[in-house]
Structure 1
Amino acid sequence: MSEKTQFYFLLTGANSGLGLSLAHRLLDDFLTTHPDNHHLTLILTTRSHSKGSATLALLSNHLHTRKVPTPRYTLAHHSVDLTNLVSVHSLAQTLYSSYPHLDAAILNAGMGTFLGIDWLNCFISLAKNWIRAVTVPTYKIQDVGCMTAQEAPLSGESIPTVFTANVFGHYFLVHEVVDLLARGGGRIIWTSSLEAYPWALSTDDLQGVRASHSYESTKRLTDVLALTSGLECTSPFTASFFCQKQSDDNIGFEKKQNQQVPKMYVCHPGICGTSIIPLNFILFNCMLLAFYIARWFGSPWHTISTYSGANAASWLALAPDDELKDVQAPGIKWGSACTRSGKQMVKATDVEGEENRPEFEELGRECWKQMEGLRMSWREKLGQKAAQ
């Protein structure tokens, strides 16, 4: 079998914060761990063409500064609004027509409907347990019930905003491009959070329409989907999700034989200093100071820098298959971590509730069942209305 030299990575939400740092890190880590004859095509998505152009300019300047020869990489951009299923479907079609396969889909894009901070709750939490208060906070105020209207041909339909931006848009996209991932032995890498609280997710409201903490609800759902994706209990639903869509008549027999069901992984960036919650200059720097204090007192999760926070996702995307197999990577939630001095590492993360395997597996089965039902329903609507 000939050596594989062409690699294609898809990264969503690459225009700022963790996503932009992850784009930098994927390029840096690929170029330092792969031989000179290996080429990376990094496919970036943002919500607008202008954001994409700015991202490409920043990355190109970074690579130019490093004097990286252009035969080693290609940067590409496609616009997508993950809360708009028509846009997601359009992106999938573009990817099919543009790339031969995908080695990894790094699902980073996300959002929260954050309104501010419950300061009384914040100060009480800090007084009780400083490290816990700045690691797994519960004092962020969020809007409830936000919906996004869909565009033609789905006009008149709407879908929960945070749920779709963080989970369902990615879920819908991955199924639509599952053939590309199968051709590349692809990895599906979900971005979760330390704030994936079990109490935030209800199977009676999987889309978080009534959730007071919709962001945390989506992150818990992300954990459950990823960590149960390879289990027998979810196989009736994962089988349809991973079912290849196209006949692939245009690819050779050998390539067909080499196709494999993509594997799901989940990671989180630790605690980074980002602008996901709107804070003024003074409060933002107070937040960073609080993070440093937590790190100095022994927290491994306060990576603070988004580049450091991108470590776990980059490792999952680039590590050899044997390395991931040896550590049973698909069944573990991986986090970017660091020492007091800031030395970076990747660390397994405890997932609350996972110790009760029967209950956790039943939760996974129910989540997969509902997600597949939603996907099929929306795909049917999209197909029917497009034909009208």
Structure 2
Amino acid sequence: MQKVVLITGANSGVGFSVADRLLEIEPSLTICLACRNLARAQVARSELIAKHGSKCTIDVQSVDTSDLKSVYKAAEEIKQRYKCLNYLYLNAGIMPVSTINWKGFLKGLFSVRRVIEMFSTGEGLLSVEDHSTDDGLKAIFTTNIFGHFVLVLALKDLLVNSKTHIIWTSSSNARRSHFNINDVQHEQGSEPYSSSKYAIDLLSLAINNEWNSHGVYSHITCPGLSITNITNSILPKWLWRAITPVMCSMRLFVPRITLSPYNSAEALVWLFQQDPAAVAQDRKYISHCNVLGKRYTHAEMIDFDVDEANELYEKLAGLEQVFRNRFKS
């Protein structure tokens, strides 16, 4: 049977490159580009067909993970469209109104360790503003994690029957110190992006605790530092191009500087080629590039507490039940 892969946020950046690289490996795949902007998704579909040929199967699905009604609607359409879903890449995400924290940046320049840390994780380098969605939830929390979790729960029967491999796009910016189990939306904090990415790490672990017995496995990845639509909101494209040679040389110390979305897809594609049951679940799989441009996947232990992971799962499941009942009524 033809394998089916669904990728959220697939019209550009890392999501698009995952689709591109998977078709290079296995042209017979059915790829579903699940995107907020259907026009851009159709453009991405045309580009993939132009490169890989008209015989490849590429579908387009409308879904906006910041809009829960959109997520529930998409789940129903996905269940009607596919009898099997082998891989689910939860990649869509936002980091809105990102700017350089110049004070933190200049202060960090006086420490080699801090320079490496800033360019490895972005910690202390960026200022991120959040806002609320029409559902009354924080946008970064909803887009990056909760909307995806709602999709997972809404597709549960399909995922269990398919023994789906779930692959999340997390970040090296995920920090346990920025997450509070009593403030999962990060309404009281100043690091909503980092909090949402750490929540992804926890949730993936909890999904494994709940679903491994059904043959469903979940893993997390980090694409490294790549120039995408998110980073272009931080610095202009011409400046990124200007500093690219310097950043390539920094790979000697910071190999997660991948720069291109194609390179950043490395860990996500590597997981596609593995037996999910044999891959450690308490690791984050990070896309790396050496100074010569060779791509490889590096695994790092996740900083976590099992009880906290399970508590997050229960809290999000309870919140999902509230919205499911609301939309039913």
Matched with 2:74 is 91
Tell me how far apart the structure 2 counterparts of residues 183 and 363 of structure 1 sit (CA, whole Å).
Answer: 28
Residue 100 (structure 1) shift: 0.8
1:302 has 2:260 as partner: no
Deviations 1:290-314 (A, max 9, x none): 532320x332212222111101111
Tell me how far apart the structure 2 counterparts of residues 112 and 374 of structure 1 sit (CA, whole Å).
Answer: 23
Amino acid at match of 2:324: R
- When structure 1 is superposed on structure 2, of 101-110 and 198-207 the one drifting more is 198-207
Matched with 2:241 is 285
Tell me how far apart the structure 1 counterparts of residues 299 and 181 of structure 2 sit (CA, whole Å).
Answer: 26
Report SS of the residue matched to 1:189: strand
Report SS of the residue matched to 2:79: helix
Matched with 2:321 is 376
Matched with 1:132 is 117
Residue 261 (structure 1) shift: 3.6
- The answer as to whether partners of 1:114 and 1:140 remain within 8 angstroms in 2 is no
Tell me how far apart the structure 1 counterparts of residues 297 and 284 of structure 2 sit (CA, whole Å).
Answer: 10
1:10 has 2:6 as partner: yes
- The answer as to whether partners of 1:162 and 1:215 remain within 8 angstroms in 2 is yes
Go from structure 1 to structure 2 and tell me whether the alpha carbon gap of 1:200 and 1:216 turns closer, same or farther (over 3 Å shift). Answer: same
Amino acid at match of 2:223: P
Residue 143 (structure 1) shift: 1.1
Amino acid at match of 2:66: T
Matched with 1:229 is 207
Deviations 1:64-117 (A, max 9, x none): 3xxxx71xx310001111111111111011111111110010001000123311
Tell me how far apart the structure 1 counterparts of residues 314 and 118 of structure 2 sit (CA, whole Å).
Answer: 34
Given candidates 53, 56, 79, the residue that maps to 2:45 is: 56
Given candidates 136, 148, 167, the residue that maps to 2:133 is: 148
Go from structure 1 to structure 2 and tell me whether the alpha carbon gap of 1:378 and 1:335 turns closer, same or farther (over 3 Å shift). Answer: same
* TM-score (normalised: structure 1): 0.79
- When structure 1 is superposed on structure 2, of 176-185 and 194-203 the one drifting more is 176-185
- The answer as to whether partners of 2:249 and 2:291 remain within 8 angstroms in 1 is no
Please show how residues 296-375 of structure 1 align to structure 2 within 5 Å.
297-319=252-274, 321=275, 324-326=276-278, 328-351=279-302, 353-354=303-304, 360-375=305-320
Deviations 1:21-80 (A, max 9, x none): 11111111224xxxxxxx31101111122111111111111113xxxx71xx31000111
Amino acid at match of 1:97: Q
Tell me how far apart the structure 2 counterparts of residues 334 and 280 of structure 1 sit (CA, whole Å).
Answer: 29
Tell me how far apart the structure 2 counterparts of residues 124 and 214 of structure 1 sit (CA, whole Å).
Answer: 22
- When structure 1 is superposed on structure 2, of 40-49 and 127-136 the one drifting more is 127-136
Tell me how far apart the structure 1 counterparts of residues 6 and 320 of structure 2 sit (CA, whole Å).
Answer: 21
Go from structure 1 to structure 2 and tell me whether the alpha carbon gap of 1:41 and 1:59 turns closer, same or farther (over 3 Å shift). Answer: same
Please show how residues 102-113 of structure 1 align to structure 2 within 5 Å.
102-113=85-96
Given candidates 219, 225, 228, the residue that maps to 1:274 is: 228
Deviations 1:226-272 (A, max 9, x none): 124334xxxxxx37xx9xxxxxxxxxxxxxxxx93411111111221
Aligned residues: 324
Matched with 1:26 is 22
- The answer as to whether partners of 2:14 and 2:261 remain within 8 angstroms in 1 is yes
Matched with 1:248 is none
1:167 has 2:145 as partner: yes
- The answer as to whether partners of 1:273 and 1:288 remain within 8 angstroms in 2 is no
- The answer as to whether partners of 1:134 and 1:291 remain within 8 angstroms in 2 is no
Residue 9 (structure 1) shift: 0.6
Residue 285 (structure 1) shift: 2.7
Report SS of the residue matched to 1:308: helix
Matched with 1:116 is 99
Amino acid at match of 1:284: W
- The answer as to whether partners of 1:46 and 1:79 remain within 8 angstroms in 2 is yes
Deviations 1:198-232 (A, max 9, x none): 1111112101223311111100000111124334x
- Please say which structure displays the higher CA radius of gyration: 1
Amino acid at match of 2:225: I
- When structure 1 is superposed on structure 2, of 363-372 and 272-281 the one drifting more is 272-281
Residue 289 (structure 1) shift: 4.1
Structure 2 segments unaligned to the other structure (5+ residues): none
Matched with 1:260 is 214
Tell me how far apart the structure 2 counterparts of residues 205 and 286 of structure 1 sit (CA, whole Å).
Answer: 40
Structure 1 segments unaligned to the other structure (5+ residues): 32-38, 151-157, 232-237, 243-258, 355-359
Tell me how far apart the structure 1 counterparts of residues 147 and 243 of structure 2 sit (CA, whole Å).
Answer: 31
1:199 has 2:195 as partner: no
- The answer as to whether partners of 1:10 and 1:105 remain within 8 angstroms in 2 is yes
